[in-house]
Structure 1
Amino acid sequence: MDNNDVLIRLRYALDIKDQDMVEIFKLGGVDFTTEEVSKVLTKSDDEEAADNEDYIKCTNSMLESFLNGLITFKRGPQEPKPGQPNKPDRSIKNYSSVNNVMLKKVKIALKLTSEDIIDILDEAGVKITKGELSALLRKEGHKNYKEFGDQYARNFLKGLAIKYRG
């Protein structure tokens, strides 16, 4: 699952309008027009579409900016604490950490508890224990860290759609 697909599924699950997408990207530090957002939200099934001028590939940096903007959009701006840097470090270090970071940031943005995430995955037909979820939410490099695979991510976004769209 590529970053564009994550954005498309997240947008659908949370029923985010185009103008709100522009605002969320802006809050995350990326200035997009409505047309550019539409190009990012275009599916690319093959490399031909990737060469198409109506398609913008969503980079890890763009996705993380969107997720940071989503947190600000849903919860409001956070006042920086003394001695804390203004811009947070990038959490997405490589492709394998994208799904874990997406899970953590959506959890923060929507104020989800661990039980909520377990219920959301259960809605999509995936059974997961609190211990397994804890491993998914750990920082990469921790001895108990577990990768949140594409199938889990698809089911999580499917469960979000069921919860928020009915």
Structure 2
Amino acid sequence: MINNDVLRSIRYMLDLGDSKVVEIVHLADPDFALDKDDVRPFLLKEDEPGHVPCGDAVLAHFLDGLIIHLRGRDGSVPARPVEKRISNNVVLKKLRVAFELKDVDMHDIFAAAGFPVSKPELSALFRQPGHKNFRQCGDQLLRNFLKGLTLRVRGA
């Protein structure tokens, strides 16, 4: 899925302003170069003038900052390095951690979006890429998860 779409969906889901997005990114890394004026072009549609593709570094910092924003920082554990490449599986994992979702919650979210997922399918999404049962998270699956999570957070 396109990073801009993920950022746009989460921003809508949590009703975040541009300055709050920057604040969340800086929770992950205060030295990361991003300001309010940089966020607006990420949120434009692809066919709109001024659209800028959201890089993996921006989305990775945003998702890491979102975890800190929603759950708080754990000072006893050293900060994890930010991912260089963001895949749909990584987005799914980070959102699961940020919202403290259990398997039952995940199934409920997919069902609410009209896209039920079996237990083996769900567990395959969270396996390591080299594992024999690992499954790539497709765009449709992530899109439906974001839709179900939005329904859960914002209500119908």
Fold equivalence (TM over 0.5): yes
Aligned partner of 1:35 in structure 2 is 37
Instruction: For 2:27 and 2:82, locate their aligned partners in 1 and report how far apart those are by CA, in whole Å.
Output: 16
Deviation at 1:115, TM superposition (A): 0.8
Identity, in percent, stands at: 42
**How far apart in 2 are the matches of 1:36 and 1:27?**
17
Report the count of equivalent residues. Answer: 153
**1:104 Cα deviation after fit:** 0.4
Contact 2:26/2:65 (<8 A) preserved? yes
1:126 corresponding residue in structure 2: 115
Deviations 1:42-95 (A, max 9, x none): 1213xxx5xx5x3332111211111101001111112244xx5x44252x53xx
Q: Structure 2: how far apart are the matches of 1:43 and 1:80?
A: 41
> Partners of 2:5 and 2:56 in 1: how far apart?
12
Task: Please state whether the residue corresponding to 1:20 is helix, strand or coil.
Answer: helix
Ranges in structure 1 where 5+ consecutive residues have no aligned partner: none
Distance (Å, rounded) in 2 between the aligned partners of 1:116 and 1:132: 15
Paired residue for 1:161, among 122, 147, 150? 150
Alpha-carbon distance between aligned partners in 2 of 1:66 and 1:164, rounded to the nearest angstrom: 18
The two structures have a TM-score, normalised by structure 1, of 0.84
Provide the C-alpha distance between the structure 1 equivalents of 2:56 and 2:76, rounded to a whole number of angstroms.
24
User: Match for 1:40: what amino acid?
Assistant: F
Unpaired runs of at least 5, structure 2 = none
State TM-score, norm by structure 2.
Answer: 0.88
Cα distance in 2 between the residues matched to 1:140 and 1:24: 28
* CA–CA separation in structure 1 for the residues paired with 2:139 and 2:57: 19
2:71–2:98 contact (8 Å) kept in structure 1 = yes
Return the alpha-carbon distance in structure 1 between the equivalents of residues 147 and 80 of structure 2.
Answer: 31
The structure 2 residue matched to 1:69, chosen from 62, 65, 70, is: 65
Shift of 1:15: 2.1
